Amino acid sequence: MINEKRLVERFLQYVQIDSPTKHERKFANHLKSEMEKMGLEVYMDNAGEKVGSDSGNLICKLKGNTKGESILFSSHMDTVSPSIGIKPQIKDGVIYSDGTTILGGDDKAGVASIMEAIETIIENDIPHGDIEVVFSIFEEGGLYGVKNLEYDKIHSKLGFVLDSGGTPGEIIVQGPAQNKIDAKFIGKEAHAGVAPENGVSAIQIAAEAISNMKLLRIDDETTANIGLIEGGGPTNIVTKEVIINAEARSLKDEKLKTQTDNMVKAMEDAAKKFAGKVEIDIDTVYGAFKVDEDEKIVEKVKQSCENLGLEAFTASSGGGSDTNILNSKGIKAVNLGIGEKEPHTLEEHIAIKDLENACRLVLEIVKVYA
C-alpha cells in the first residue's frame, strides 16, 4: 500500500533541503506546506525564539475517523554538520551522500516515513484515531526543541519517536540521563624560562585531573567522555587557564551521580595538588527513561511488527533522544529503529528496504490503534 517510489523520492528531496541545527526554517516551511495541502492542522510554536533557532517546532494533527486512541509520532528536522548541499546517491539499494557531507537520514528518514504514512492514510481512507505529529528543532546537541515544545497543544499520551539506527522492529525502551560537565582550570602566569617556579600551569592541573578520571565505557549502563580541551599560548608563558567540556551518561540516576561526583573530585583534587583553582558547572541535559516491556505500548508495536513479518525486539540505548523528554512530560514514548546507519559521519547511509519498513510500521501502528 505504501507508494515506495514516492517515499524514496520524498526522502531524497528532504535531505537536499538544508536544515542544520538552528537553521530549520526552510525545511519546516516545506513540511508545513505539504501537510496543509494534505488537510492537516499545522501549528508552529515559539520554541525557536527561546533557543536561538530560526524556526519553531511543527505540531500537526490529522483528525480521526474512528474512536481509536490518539497517538503521537515524532522526528527531528535538524541535522548535524556538515550538512549543507547534500547530494544523495543510490548504490545497490542503499542511499548514501557523495562523501563530502552527512546524508541526513538522522532524522529525515523518520520525517519521510511519517509523512508518507500519513499521505497513504489520507489517500486510502484508512481508519485511524487522532494522529498528532511533532517535527522538532534543535534536537542535536541537547534536545532543546522538544524541551520547549508547547505541550498544551498536545493531547496524545502515547508517543512513537522515529530516531534510532536499529533495523525496523527495534523498540528502544530505555535511554540514559546525561550530565554536561564544563570546567575552567585556573593557574598562575609566569615566565616559563626565567621563573617557572612562580607559575601554576592550568594545563598540568587539567592533565592531572583527566588522568585520574574513569572515562569512556564505565560499565554496561554508564559512559563518560572529554570532548574539548582548550587553552594555552606561547611556550614561554606558564598557562593560566584551560577549559574542558565533558559529559557523563547512565541508564541509572545513582550511577550518573557517582560518575559525575568522581569526575568533579578528580578536578578538585588536581587543583588542590598544584595550588590552582577550578570552576565547575554541571547541567543535567536530560533525564533517563524506562518503559516496562509488558507495557501496552510495547505490546502494540510488537503486534504491528508481527503483522508485517518484522522481527520485534526491545533494547536500551546509550544515546539521548526526544523520547527522553516526552516521557518526562507525561507522554509514554518509545524510540523506533528506522535503519539509519553510521549517523553523524560522512559514511552515513540507509537501505531503501529499511526506509520502506519504517514507513510501513508507522502505518501499521496507526491501524492497530484504530
| Residues involved in catalysis | 78, 139
Task: Find, among 260, 261, 270, 267, the residue nearest to 223 by Cα.
Answer: 260
Yes or no: say if 320 and 247 are a contact pair by the CB < 8 Å rule: no
Are 215 and 226 in contact, with CB atoms under 8 Å apart? yes
Torsion sign (Cα): 261, 266, 269, 274: negative
Cell of 64: 480521526
Backbone phi, then psi, for 264, in 5-degree steps?
-65, -45
d(CA 363, CA 246): 40
Backbone φ and ψ for 124, nearest 5 degrees, come out as -105, 5
